[in-house]
A and B are shown apart, each in its own frame.
Chain A
């Protein structure tokens, strides 16, 4: 792994976190915890992995992302803005009446969003539909999907897991953001759905487990996934909910609460310190 690329991606991940905090703080509502946990995955996808064209966001040959855990929209929007789909200043209009940045991703309103999501459990089905069409039409595009671990309690996810394997969707890579917390508490205490690896494997998937907040492991995981033919791959990402903001890390209360102005200031200064440290490295 080229050190300068790695550094650049770490900075991108931090900038995604910065944008997410800005958005949620301006809106006074939203979901910071699960946004921060997937910032590293989004940085790798949008700045290293995915074939996208910001000037032609609907380009048929693009790779696609379905953010099934649509409540992580603040990080998603920050990644899209950072990538250049729209102005970063737009992030401060998150959830406002005149903003395209809806509380959950809306493909009709937002440039770069491949599928509207937010109602948990539906994203993998949509990603399967995309992968199925692209595969049958022999298009060289890859579909990515990010699921939440709490979200995997939805029955439709398991229907979709069957479908991906049945149709041998090897042009699909799924990330499970295993941050182990959901609104009401710890996932294993609310409704235990682990182990994921054994379940996915039993359903006919290839599985990889990584530290989902480690850029190098994310890149390596995707490279491994893409080598596997004849079956879809899931990358189980062990992550920290609220990653990058000390007082939010592993705190269930930050699932769906916005920081006040003071708290946001602290969060942004922590993130900025990370960016600064990376820049002088």
Chain B
């Protein structure tokens, strides 16, 4: 069943959490796309529209936070992590100020706007920053939990959201969400799939396809990419001997790289990474993009078969 897109869920989440927590929300002329206009209409005194100026957005957010005021700075991922990278680095991460960067439209699965707008580098850029926590929820319910969890982190958090409706991964209204701890969605012994964002529901479907072959796959929603849940990676690497990662992000630098770093130091398993293959995005319908860039459940299934076939038989 489809849920709201994670960007819409973000907008609704901050609007509904605005009564419970004292934070400000900022945007850069994209409030109807990031859905922060909902917050702005309800709490105009705590909303700031910066116009089309993302660098200024980020450092102004830092100035606000320096006065003890938590703030969400919202824009598209390419303009946050991309254009304003150095402002995020020096004004937010270096200072450790309490700014939450809410980046919507992450990945290639954002449709027709094409390569200039499809941000496939943000996780890589953000997880290399000291002090930065990096979170990418996968559906409506987990977005609500992620936003509330981010509020409780003292310091900078990068939240990554998608554009289009997501498939429901979590059926409950509230998802158990601990920053830095992956959620085991399905348990399994033959292979483990660590996935984020839209790839979590695709991983669940892939697990179903593997089950039809008589193979059992664990599916883990790795919503926090930094700090990465090392224990969980090692536990499942040891248990299954075959690890697959899946993300709508460049294959270089994202979730797959984070998992690879853990496994390279503790080689318990073979690893296969699924993502955008170091190429820029292009215009297209969501479904066509998913197929073009090899991000379908069938692609994940094939990666899993390959990983299982390559396993060390002694494991």
Give the B-binding residues of A (Cβ under 8 A): 60, 66, 106-108, 114-116, 118-119, 121-122, 125-134, 136, 155-156, 159-160, 162-163, 166-167
CB 8 Å contact bits of B56-90 with A (1 = contact, 0 = none): 10111111111111000000000000000011001
Whether the Cβ atoms of B59 and A136 lie closer than 8 Å is: no
Residue pair A159, B55 in contact (C-beta under 8 Å): yes
B residues within 8 A CB of A66?
A: 63
Asked if B176 is an interface residue, CB under 8 A from chain A, the answer is no
Instruction: Determine how close the nearest CB of chain B comes to the CB of A167; give it in whole angstroms.
Output: 8
B86 / chain A contacts, CB cutoff of 8 Å: 119
- Tell me if A127 and B63 are in contact (CB < 8 A): yes
What would 23 A/B residue contacts be, using CB atoms closer than 8 Å?
Answer: A66-B63, A107-B66, A108-B94, A115-B95, A116-B91, A118-B90, A122-B87, A122-B91, A125-B56, A125-B87, A128-B63, A129-B60, A129-B66, A130-B63, A133-B63, A133-B64, A134-B67, A156-B56, A159-B53, A160-B56, A162-B53, A163-B50, A163-B56
Alpha-carbon distance between A108 and B48 when the two chains are bound, in angstroms: 26
Other 5 A-B pairs with CB < 8 A, given A115-B95, A128-B63: A116-B94, A122-B90, A128-B60, A136-B45, A166-B51
B96 interface residue, CB < 8 Å from A? yes
Q: For A118, what are the chain B residues with a Cβ–Cβ distance below 8 Å? A: 90
Interface size class of B (residues with CB under 8 A): 20 to 34
* Inter-subunit contact B63/A129 (CB<8 Å): yes
Q: Which of A106, A108, A125, A162 contacts B59 (CB 8 A)?
A: A125
Do the beta carbons of B87 and A156 come within 8 Å of each other?
yes
Main secondary structure of the interface of B (DSSP, over half): helix
In the assembled complex, the Cα of A115 lies from the Cα of B65 at a distance in Å of 11
Assembly CA distance A121 to B60 (angstroms): 12
Residues of chain B contacted by A133 (CB below 8 angstroms): 24, 63-64, 67, 69
Query: Across the interface, which residues of A come within 8 angstroms of B69, CB to CB?
Result: 133
Within 8 Å CB of A160, what residues of B? 56, 59-60
Contact A162 B51 (CB under 8 A): yes
- Say yes or no: A130 contacts B64, CB within 8 Å: yes
The answer to whether A163 touches B53, judged by C-beta atoms less than 8 angstroms apart, is: yes
By a CB distance below 8 angstroms, the chain B residues around A167 are 48
**Chain B residues within 8 Å of A156, by CB:** 53, 55-56, 59, 87
Residues on A with beta carbons closer than 8 Å to the beta carbon of B58 = 125
CB–CB B60/A125 < 8 A: yes
B67 and A60 contact, CB distance less than 8 A: yes
Query: Closest CB of chain A to B84's CB: distance in Å?
Result: 9
In the complex formed, the residue of B with least CB distance to A133 is: B67
Chain A residues with CB under 8 Å of B95's CB are 107-108, 115-116
Question: What chain B residues lie within 8 Å of A114 (beta carbons)?
Answer: 66
Q: Which of B24, B66, B94 is A126 in contact with, Cβ under 8 Å?
A: B66
CA distance A166 to B50 in the complex (A): 9
**B66 partner residues in chain A, CB cutoff 8 A:** 107, 114-115, 126, 129-130
- Name the CB-closest residue of B to A118: B90
Chain A residue numbers with a CB within 8 Å of B50 are 163
Q: Which residues of B contact A (CB under 8 A)?
A: 24, 45, 48, 50-51, 53, 55-56, 58-69, 86-87, 90-91, 94-96
Smallest CB-CB separation from B64: which chain A residue?
A129
Residue of A nearest to B68 (CB): A60
The 7 closest A-B pairs by CB, nearest first: A129-B63, A125-B59, A159-B56, A126-B63, A159-B53, A129-B64, A129-B60
Residue of B nearest to A136 (CB): B45
Distance from B121 Cβ to chain A, minimum over Cβ atoms (Å): 20
Docked Cα-Cα span, A131 to B66, in Å, equals 11
Residue ID in chain B nearest A107 by CB atoms: B95
For B90, give its contact among A60, A119, A129, A163 (CB under 8 Å): A119
CB-nearest residue of chain B to A128: B60
Q: Contact between B60 and A132 (Cβ–Cβ < 8 Å)?
A: yes
A129 to B95, CA, bound (A): 15
**Once bound together, how far apart are the Cα atoms of A217 and B292, in whole Å?**
66
Q: With A119-B90, A133-B69, A134-B67 in contact, is A126–B53 under 8 Å at CB?
A: no
Residues in B whose Cβ lies below 8 Å from that of A60 = 67-68
Question: Which A residues are CB-close (under 8 A) to B51?
Answer: 162-163, 166
Taking a contact as CB atoms under 8 Å apart, the answer to whether B64 and A132 are in contact is yes
* B45-A129 in contact (CB<8A): no
What's the minimum C-beta distance from A2 to chain B, rounded to whole angstroms? 33
**Given known A-B contacts A156-B55, A159-B53, A115 and B90 have beta carbons under 8 A apart:** no
Closest to B96 in A: A108
* B residues in contact with A159, CB < 8 Å: 53, 55-56
Contacts of A122 in B (CB 8 A): 55, 59, 87, 90-91
Give chain A residues whose Cβ lies under 8 Å from the Cβ of B62: 115, 125-126, 129
**A136 surroundings in chain B (CB, below 8 A):** 45
The complex places the Cα of A159 from the Cα of B60 at a distance, in Å, of: 11
**Across the two chains, which residue of chain A brings its CB closest to B56?**
A159
